[in-house]
Chain A
Amino acid sequence: VSNIEDEIEWMRRTANGDAVAFRALADAHLVKIMNFAYRVLHDRTEAEDVAQETFLRLWKDAGRYEPKARVTTWLHRIAHNLCVDRLRGRREQPSDELDEERSSTEPGGLLDRKRLATDVGKALAELPERQRTAITLVHYQGLSNIEAASILDVGVDALESLLSRGRRSLRDKLAQHEPDEVTGETGR
């Protein structure tokens, strides 16, 4: 799937029951949706469940897709709604995985890249959900400000506020990392 017109065609075919078209869309978007759900939920099992449910919705509801949005935006919106549902259900039952990671993370010391990745994941998970989702959509998923704002149902100004507050919190949470521990690369 190479461009928007191709994706719309794959969606049309999927809506008409074409399994080959569905699998092409899954090939193109599964990794992205899985990573989005993982960063929002910080739980691999739940992220896989959300990814599977997102593609089940794609199969069943492709006919509802409006070509005015990119397919990736449509899928991210579905996945985001599913993540929010899970986070609401989780409030009374905190994730064991998060607690385990928190207790195994010691401040200070020489931190390798794996440790940095763990700490960044933990710091992201500790952000309020909407700040975390905003950063994930813009920084990791590569969505535009308008696409990210539409998924979060906010205006661009509100999105920018979520992003800047989230980045400030991350800076504070990760203050123990020395500048030379992190790479100078900013693009992904």
Chain B
Amino acid sequence: VRQDDKKQTADRLRALVESYGTNPERWPPDERASAQKLETSSSNAEAWLTEQRRIDALLDGATDVVPSPALMRRVAEIPLRHEKALSGWRPGWLRNLIGLGTAAAVLGLVVGMTTSEPVATDDAVTEWDDLSTLALGVDGSEELLP
């Protein structure tokens, strides 16, 4: 039995109606057509469908509120009163790239600070002089005599 077929049992129709109400427009689109067919062919569904229609009607009894003119004015004035924190449209991939670049830069900075060569010391100068002597046969540490 396919999963789609299993879902469209009478139990599933009842679960749909008890969750989303009796208006098929509120049902999940992928189940709507088959559930509607089942609804029209279910002979024993009338009792609980009637109850759910009543709940829908009660919910529809609530009235909408209208934003006050003061709120509409305050919202319309938002661009005049507030600076934008972010400038420009950045698609998701660009934001990810920028984030990756920033992370790499920070990582590079941290690595650079913790592993860079120490500042030259007297020992380092001595080591350089020894290498010069070996390579050039010249002792660079001694001043040339006139």
A→B interface (CB under 8 Å): 11-12, 15-17, 19, 22-23, 26, 30-31, 34-35, 38-39, 44, 47-48, 51-52, 55-56, 59-64, 66, 68, 113-114, 116-117, 120-121, 124, 135, 138-140, 142, 144-146, 156, 159-161, 163-164, 167-168, 170-171, 174, 177, 179, 182-188
> Can you list 14 pairs linking A and B with CB atoms under 8 Å apart?
A23-B79, A30-B72, A34-B67, A51-B71, A52-B75, A56-B78, A59-B82, A117-B63, A142-B26, A156-B28, A171-B54, A177-B58, A185-B60, A186-B22
Contact of B84 among A47, A59, A114 (CB under 8 A): A59
Question: Of residues 24 to 82 in B, which have CB atoms within 8 Å of A's CB atoms?
Answer: 25-26, 28-29, 51-68, 70-72, 74-76, 78-80, 82
CA A153 – CA B75 in complex, angstroms?
Answer: 28
Chain B interface mostly helix, strand, loop or mixed?
A: helix
- Whether the Cβ atoms of B58 and A170 lie closer than 8 Å is yes
**Cα(A52)–Cα(B76), bound, Å:** 10
| Pair A30/B58 contact, Cβ less than 8 Å | no
Q: B133 at the A/B interface (Cβ < 8 Å)? A: no
Cβ-neighbour of B61 out of A19, A44, A120, A135 (below 8 A)? A120
CB of A63 within 8 A of CB of B25, answer no
List the A side residues contacting B26 at CB < 8 Å.
138-139, 142
Name B's A-contacting residues (CB within 8 A): 15, 18-23, 25-26, 28-29, 51-68, 70-72, 74-76, 78-80, 82, 84-90, 92, 95
Name which residue of chain A comes closest to B28, CB basis.
Answer: A145
Total of A-B residue pairs, C-beta within 8 Å? 152
Say what secondary structure dominates the interface of chain A.
helix
**Which B residues lie within 8 Å of A66 (CB)?**
92
Complex formed: what's the CA distance from A40 to B82 in Å?
A: 27
CA distance A135 to B58 in the complex (A): 13
Point out the residues of chain B lying under 8 angstroms from A163, CB to CB. 18-20
Please determine whether B71 and A183 come into contact, CB atoms closer than 8 angstroms.
Answer: no
Assess the A48–B66 pair: CB atoms within 8 A.
no
Asked if residues A63 and B88 are in contact (CB atoms below 8 Å), the reply is yes
Q: Closest A-chain residue to B70, C-beta based?
A: A48
- Across the interface, do B87 and A47 meet the contact criterion of CB distance under 8 Å? no
State A117–B86 Cα separation when bound (angstroms): 42
